[in-house]
Every structure is written in structure tokens, then in C-alpha cells.
Amino acid sequence: MAKAVKICLAGEGGQGVQSVAEIIAAAANAEGREALYIPNFGVEQRGGVSIAYLQIADQPIGAPKFDKADILVALSDRAVRRCKQYVDENTVYVYDASIEGVADDLPKEGEAKKVLAIPALEISKNELHPRVFNILIMGAVIGATGVIPVEAAKAAIEKKLGYKFEQNPELRELNFKAIDRGIELMK
């Protein structure tokens, strides 16, 4: 990888964007890659817009913040509006298809490389479980960027959530299904 992959994840507090960024960074580090994760959220941990800035590279990363993202994932209407400045013609812009009232705020043709609406919330509710919404999003990021192997992501999830998996082994399978389903969405 010649340059750092710049990832911006944004949503409402409590949607898990910080957890996703942290797990991806841990997986990249475990693979011997450089990873830099910067959280940004308001004073409210739940209910405010939460943004995670994540960079992954093979060489040291020069600056913690970036101007434009290679991939931006917006999970709420406020996140869509708040993150416009991180998009340019090279950005893959992903947002949840259930978000309403944002058509005028999404990048227009030529303003982003691709604009993709994915039914992540619907899939997590109807096919999996609402608790794995953020892991489904993590799969979408991995599927869109190829920034880490899926096995590394699953190992990082296991490390972070292993104690929960011991209490409820079905959670492991559910989380791993969610990451695989997220990757599928980006194909």
C-alpha cells in the first residue's frame, strides 16, 4: 500500500463507530501495519454525532487528521450533514439506506467516486440482530477497502469481545455473520 487509507466513520453516539474504528486499528496493528485512530465526539456519549478518523498504512503515518477520506460511512442524517467536508472525487461515500431527508446533502455526481446506499440497519434488524449493526458496518468498510483481511478482523473482534462470546457462544457466530454480510454488501 503506497499511501495511507483514510477512513471516516460517522454516526450518532451509541451506534458503535468508535468501536468499529478501534477494532479495525487493532486488527491492522496485529497484521504489522501502521494504524492511527482518532475519536471525535461531543460531550454526550449517546445522542451526539460521533466521528472516528482512521488511517492504515504500511509506513508511519505523518499526520493524525486528514482533509479528505478514501471512504466515508455516514450512519445518520446528522452524520451525513456534518461530514460533507471530508468528501472529494476520490471518496467512496457509503450511507445507510434507511436515512431519510438527506437527498440534498449527499454528494452529487462527480463530487465522490461512488455514492452507495446500503441497507445495514434493515439487515441487522431483520436478518441478524440490532446489536451487530456496527459489525455489519465494519464488514462494509473492509469490503470496500480491503484494508485488512477478514480473518484479522475476526481475530480482533474475538480479542475485544471474547469474554462475551464465552458467556454466549451464539454471539460469536452472529458477529462473524455480520462482518461477512457487510463485506458482501460492498461487492
**Rounded distance between C-alpha atoms, residue 25 and residue 4, angstroms:** 13
Segment (H or E) for 116? strand 114-118
- Can you give the pLDDT at residue 47? 63
Write the pLDDT tens digit of every residue in 115-169.
999 999 999 999 999 989 999 999 999 999 999 999 999 999 999 988 889 999 9
CA distance linking residue 154 with residue 138, whole number of Å: 11
CB–CB of 8/69 below 8 Å? Answer: yes
Contact 54, 25 (CB under 8 A): yes
Predicted local distance difference test score (pLDDT) of residue 96: 95
- Structural domain boundaries, residue 142: 5-185
Q: Summarize pLDDT for 32-85 with one digit per residue, the tens.
A: 999 999 998 765 555 678 999 999 999 999 888 899 999 999 999 999 999 999
Structural domains of the chain, count: 1
Q: Which residues of 140-163 are buried (b: 16+ CB within 10 A; e: fewer)?
A: bbbbbbebbebebbbbbbeeebee
**Beta bridge partners of residue 5, listed in sequence order:** 56
Task: Residue 29: give its domain's CATH number.
Answer: 3.40.920.10
pLDDT in the model for residue 44: 53
For residue 187, the model assigns a pLDDT of 84
pTM for the structure as a whole: 0.91
> Each residue of 71-89: pLDDT tens digit?
999 999 999 999 999 999 9
Task: Tell me the average pLDDT across 7-15.
Answer: 90
pLDDT of residue 167: 92
C-alpha torsion angle, residues 125, 128, 133, 137 (rounded to 10): -120
